[in-house]
Structure 1
């Protein structure tokens, strides 16, 4: 198995993306620790993993609380002996407002949440990964098309901020054999609710691909498991494009 005896921490582990990664990691032999703010969602993912024979634990952790994040990761390292994979897929406080009309304070708050959560979670994992001389920090989102879409407000800016941090983290952690990688898609129709008004958006995601099939949650999980494994040991400081051709490199 790709991730046998590995320990993975996932912030946003109760969500669709985090849950998909958690299931794929445990299917490949990892033990996962899921963090989030909604106990019911975390417990549902953990129960699903346990039914399949995997190992999963949950915790309520605020990814903006430095003491909470460091304490949680330190406790995992003490329990398992290592922190091998760290994933942050918590949602942004997205503001779908044109920048011309964006209140400065609201913009600052949105960017602060993105920057602080990704800095804190990466720091907490990196301290242990540097000591053990190995590890993978995985981000999700990546940069968008060459020309941004009007009306996205802070969404793509937030993703680009994470990408800038990813490049810097990869540069600093590379000498310690710690890899930092991003995944990006052209959208995942499964993550949208099944409502009449969402049907056009789902079809738009499919039509934008070259393969005429949008990325699925199963695709996300499988690729994430590969990237977190030794099979991808030469991949760092880059984005992995699983958009089916919707996003051109």
Structure 2
């Protein structure tokens, strides 16, 4: 076990039944972590848990509404008791929102939906796990954002502001939690090419834009968005999960307050 990246670590993943959360949970378990996956839909959590258990990994599930602060804090305390600590936390919760609508036709509700939704869950989950992390055992909080945090294109006002907010949140939280031996690192993938096939909400998100161009979602991703990257392709679930495992491990112990750019060169920092 000593050669595994996350041997004897306890990791909690919110949105652990989703495409990205599930992929990361599987890799964390493979790398030796005891994985606690939480989310709104028990059936999705069970699918991930079965895969992990079949591969010999350690996993527990919990149906938790991440918008319920009291429920999230109760779950985090239970995880800390069961595992002895929380060493890694990841928020992979999805919030359906608008992309493609310009200001003139964008409602205030649609503008605020991703900002309130994503940042509310990020605040709630971070606040819940932080008291159970760090000090004698290094802690890591991983966050997810999108290239919209940096892009200046029309039609993504709410999406862009929410992505930038998540990155700012991660940066400032890293400064606050560093004295407690807790690192905070953001991961910024682009649209994930195989996520829709894995059940991600992005299939529904991108469908209107793809249809407007007479394309399928796969064509929109592989022939459209991918061509705007340096590598002429989009990141995969596997690449995101493998990177997350490294960032959560002690091998990246000098990294905090930064963003890992997994956009395949859509953005060059």
Question: Do the two structures share a fold, i.e. TM-score over 0.5?
Answer: yes
Q: Pick from 224, 230, 255 the counterpart of residue 210 of structure 1.
A: 230
Give the Cα separation in 2 of the matches to 1:205 and 1:52. 34
**Structure 1 residue 165 displacement after superposition:** 0.9
5 Å-filtered alignment, 1:64-79, equals: 64-79=67-82
5 Å-filtered alignment, 1:17-166, equals: 17-96=20-99, 97-130=101-134, 132=136, 134-144=138-148, 146-166=150-170
> Is residue 230 of structure 1 aligned with residue 250 of structure 2?
yes
SS in 1 for 2:35: strand
Q: Cα deviation per residue 1:118-154 (whole Å; 9 max; x = unaligned)?
A: 1110011111114555200001124437433322242
Give the Cα separation in 2 of the matches to 1:99 and 1:91. 23
- The unaligned stretches of length 5 or more in structure 1 are none
C-alpha RMSD over aligned residues: 1.9
Give the Cα separation in 1 of the matches to 2:114 and 2:18. 20
- Compared with structure 1, are the counterparts of its residues 146 and 35 closer, same or farther at alpha carbon in structure 2 (3 Å cutoff)? closer
- The unaligned stretches of length 5 or more in structure 2 are 198-202, 208-214
Structure 1 runs of 4+ off > 6 angstroms? none
Moved more, 205-214 or 236-245: 205-214
The answer on whether the counterparts of 2:90 and 2:141 sit within 8 Å (CA) in structure 1 is: yes
Moved more, 79-88 or 121-130: 121-130
Moved more, 159-168 or 198-207: 198-207
The answer on whether the counterparts of 1:145 and 1:247 sit within 8 Å (CA) in structure 2 is: no
Give the Cα separation in 1 of the matches to 2:257 and 2:129. 17
Q: Which residue of 2 aligns with 1:201?
A: 220
Q: Cα deviation per residue 1:26-82 (whole Å; 9 max; x = unaligned)?
A: 111001111111111110011001111101111111111111000000001011100
Q: Pick from 178, 181, 200 the counterpart of residue 182 of structure 2.
A: 178
**Structure 1 residue 207 displacement after superposition:** 1.9
Give the Cα separation in 2 of the matches to 1:213 and 1:154. 25
The answer on whether the counterparts of 2:192 and 2:237 sit within 8 Å (CA) in structure 1 is: yes
